[in-house]
Chain A
Amino acid sequence: MSTDAEILQRRLERERAARKQAEAILEAKAKELYELNQSLELQIQQRTAQLEESERSYRNIVDNADDIIYNISAEGIFTYVNPAALAITEFTAEEAIGSRFQNIIRDDFKEKVIIFYAEMVRNKKEKTYYEFPIVSKSGRDIWIGQKTNLVEDKDGSFSFTVMARDITKRKIAEAELIIAKNEIEKSEYKYRSIMENMMLGLLEVDLEGRVTKAYPRFCEMVGYQEKEIIGKIAEDILMPDMESKEAIKEKNKERLDKKSDVYETVVKRKNGELVNVLISAAPFYDSFGKVIGSIGIHYDITERNRLKVELEKAKSLAEKAQQAEAHFLASMSHEIRTPLNAIVGMSHLLQDAKLNSDEKEYLEILKSSSNVLQKLISDVLDISKIDAGKLEIHNKPFDLEKLVLNLKRTFQVKLDSKPVSVISHQNFELDHLVLGDELLLNQILLNLIGNAEKFTEKGFITIDLELLERKKESLSIKFLVKDTGVGIARDQLSKIFEQFKQAHAEIRKDYGGTGLGLAITKKLIDLLGSEIFVESEIGKGTSFSFILDFGTTDIKTNEIEKYYSEELKFAEIDGRVLIVEDNPMNQKYITRLLEKWGLQYHVSNNGEEAVEICQREKFAIIFMDLQMPIMNGYEATNEIREKENLNQETPIVALTASTLLSKKQMALDAGMSDFLSKPFNPKQLSETLLNQFKLEAKEEVKSDSSNQFAFNPKLDVDYLIEQYGDDLQYGMEMMEVFLESVQLEFEVMKTSVSIDDFKTFAKSAHKIKPTFTMVGLSQFSTLFAQIEKEAKANKAEAFDLFGSVSKELKPYFQLIQSEIDKLHSHLKI
């Protein structure tokens, strides 16, 4: 246990030791601090030297910099300006330092620049960039781009450190660019205003179809102001319906592929009116050639379309008027011809009666007057037929020489009373028939010779035929009809081919005529694809000439004599003739003629009576009027052809006052064999009668001699011969297949009609369409093509047309069946 004294003693020792220890530590720390201090001073010296060096080098850079560098005090006084700045501004350092910054700014920019830097100080913006012009000591304009740093000291005062660059060249280039751009815009504007003045509306849209520019003419066109449509989707405002909106969107897409396009569409004006426009649209490029939109040039075609519609209306009206005219002429021909026929016929019959000389004279006047009337009606009808395009060219083999000879004889007889000779001349031999329209050529020559006869009092009428070219399959012949008549004045020559125009008014008085003869002649020659020429000299005569081409045949001219000779005895006709006619005068006319020729006949007053007697008696031939009460000629013919009776194969000749081809076609379609226009003379009736039997005889001879099969002429015989030729077995099989398949399809089509199934209906029509041609009924292929087309458009007309066509087809089915039967026996199957 230690005493207090011992403890105290230890405590003192400890504390002295601790003090010494602390003193030693502190001494060491102090020494350490001293050494640290020494090293710090050295470091400061080194750092200061480094700083000075760095500042020197910076100043050096600044002094040698190409850029303008300067310092400005808060008051706007230059405190430092580098040599580059002095060089550019041409001031010396002495002049610059201490002067005001604003003194060097160009006058017109001073205010702007001062406001700009005042703003910079107020908003304490650390850095700014500004471009403005300064003026050098010598007065040169220099544009500088100036970067300014605001340097704020701790005490709140500030100054500017500025680095600027001479941008004069760039500014000049920019100005030039602006001028160039203006030039381009001016020229663009020029072209656009040209287009505007051409009433073309220009519209520019971006890639989304948003309007970027609408030119005044376009605005006028759609009734909007430019500001109303700018920025809007063009098609949304301007297109009247969804469909056209989509269409425009599609069109705009095409612009991306750099495609241009022209199309017609309808746009809606602000007031809701629709405008037809023709749009020429093209992609629109930026200066890098990238498509940035499209430009559309709009042309208002509303007026044009309206005119088009009106024109179409007018055309259809004109066509209707023409049809009405044709209809009128047809009716007129019926109304006038029927009684006229009786007059002509009766006067012919009177000739055979015993008459005194006065009566004979009256009869002559009656005959000539009715002949003139007949001729006039015939001419008028010819003209109207030609004008309506209803006159067809029928090329058949005929004897050209004989035609000329007949004409020559006819006029020789006529000119018996005048000192005028008819001479024909031909510079070539023809021992074969030629192919052409005998009737038309006859009419042309008849008119020309008739004309010559009328105006020639003495001398000659020459009919000249000159062979211009002979090829294997064609002949080119020049016809010349020349007279020694009164001649035509030069100034009248151009008029003679006009309708109802004669060289001068007195001619009608002196020579008569309808004034239609030469007009018809010219039209007929035009129709045949040729041209008529006339030459004349007053007092010396006139000559007409034209050139026609004919086909060649291998039928010898002497053979035709057999077929066309009038030697055939009417007595050879086996059986009675049936006359179906409601007009008693016509009945009498025909019956007297038949009596004269020694033929037996029966008369029925209408179709019904005819059908009835056909059940009981087989006739040699039937003459059938078309327009009759109770049952008309078409219906009666249909009945006779379709129903079981004794006359299904008997030839039926239509008698009608109408000369229209459509009526003729209707008659043939109804199953008639030939066609005789009323009024007819005895010769025409006898020819028709004989032709019926002769043609059949000819066919029989042909089939016997060459063992060839004669198809019913109602079928397309040429096609059938070409198609089946020697292989008649094949032809017959085709016809059998045809009947089977068509009737089957007809059932399908009828069912389709009842359930309004256009698709199935069109399909069937398509299927059977070609089969008609295969059996020689090509006209029905055309009709079924039309039916198919209508059906595809879902038009009910298809059903109506089918109804009428299938009715029309009925007799043909029987005809095909009878052809099959005939082929059976021919092939002895």
Chain B
Amino acid sequence: MLGVVFTEFFEMVEDKFGYDMVDKLIEQSTSESKGIYTAVGTYHHGEIVEHVVNLHKESGLEIPLLLNTFGRYLHGTFVKNYSSFFENATNAFDFLESIENYIHVEVKKLYPDAELPSFDSERITDNQMVLYYTSARRLGDFAKGLIEQTMEYYEETAEVTMENLEADGSKVKFVITKK
């Protein structure tokens, strides 16, 4: 998993809970990297899961909420670092549709080792689209946060429902209905 996810996660934790919480999570961690992350590195994805689970234990907040919040937070980072992707699309649906065949293709060029989820999209009407999220990382809630933040970024109001197509969450269907 890309290092930026880890560095941004701990930025957010420090932001919301203070560095004490960051230190607590790292100290509890049994991971190989011992909490030393750099945005240009790559780390095992299990480590983020461990940190999130531990944050849940420490904060008492539910994991889906934590992942959703992290998704929304990371969106801000993406806008800051990769603004051209967002500027290329004029609305949320166009942007979401471009993830799979454009953004991820470009990401692969910069980070050949990156393991990216797939986002198959299907435009039902002008106001409704379906996104199928497929990933062994099972981070549907994280993805939902990213989607919701995308709608907000384009100043569009929409209801996003989430349905597990596989029980383990490796395949998730999002229905996005604009209001």
Contact = CB atoms under 8 A, between A and B. Distances in A.
A495 interface: no
Interface stretch (B35-43, B118-126, B162-170): B35-43
Given A7-B19, A7-B20, A21-B36, A14 B26 contact: yes
Contact of B23 (A11, A19, A21, A26): A11
Contact of A18 (B19, B20, B38): B38
A320 B20 CA distance: 150
Interface string A3-42: 0000100110010011101100110010000000000000
Contacts of A22: 38-41
A26 B22 CA distance: 26
A18 B37 contact: yes
Contact of A14 (B20, B36, B40): B36
17 contacts: A2-B23, A7-B20, A7-B23, A11-B23, A14-B34, A14-B36, A18-B36, A18-B37, A19-B38, A21-B36, A21-B38, A21-B41, A22-B38, A22-B40, A22-B41, A25-B40, A25-B41
Contacts of B22: 11
Contacts of A18: 36-38
Grouping DSSP codes into helix (H, G, I), strand (E, B) and loop, the B interface class, with mixed when no group exceeds half, is loop
How large, as a class, is the contact surface on chain B? Answer: 10 to 19
B38 A10 contact: no
Nearest to A6: B23
A325 B138 CA distance: 133
Interface residues of A, number: 13
Interface string B13-50: 00000011011001100000011111111000000000
A7 B41 CA distance: 24
Q: List 7 tightest A-B contacts by C-beta distance, closest first.
A: A22-B38, A17-B36, A18-B38, A7-B23, A18-B36, A25-B40, A21-B38
A2 B22 CA distance: 13
Contacts of A2: 23, 27
A501 B127 CA distance: 130
A10 B37 CA distance: 14
| Most B C-beta atoms less than 10 A away, residue of A7, A17, A18, A25 | A18
A25 B38 contact: yes
Contacts of B27: 2, 10
A29 B36 CA distance: 19
B26 A26 contact: no
A25 B113 CA distance: 14
Contacts of B36: 14, 17-18, 21
Interface string A94-121: 0000000000000000000000000000
Contacts of B20: 7
Contact of B35 (A7, A14, A19, A25): A14
Contacts of B41: 21-22, 25
Contacts of A21: 36, 38, 41
A10 B41 CA distance: 20
Contacts of B40: 22, 25-26, 29
A605 B48 CA distance: 160
Nearest to B37: A18
A11 B39 CA distance: 16
A11 B23 CA distance: 8
A10 B24 CA distance: 11
A19 B37 CA distance: 9
A511 to B, nearest CB: 138
Contacts of B26: 10, 14
Nearest to A15: B36
B114 to A, nearest CB: 14
A35 to B, nearest CB: 16
A578 B12 CA distance: 166
A570 to B, nearest CB: 141
Given A10-B23, A14-B34, 13 more contacts: A2-B27, A10-B27, A11-B22, A11-B23, A18-B36, A18-B38, A19-B38, A21-B36, A21-B38, A25-B38, A25-B40, A25-B41, A26-B40
Interface in B85-104: none
Contacts of B38: 18-19, 21-22, 25
A10 B10 CA distance: 14
Nearest to B14: A11
B18 to A, nearest CB: 10
A18 to B, nearest CB: 5
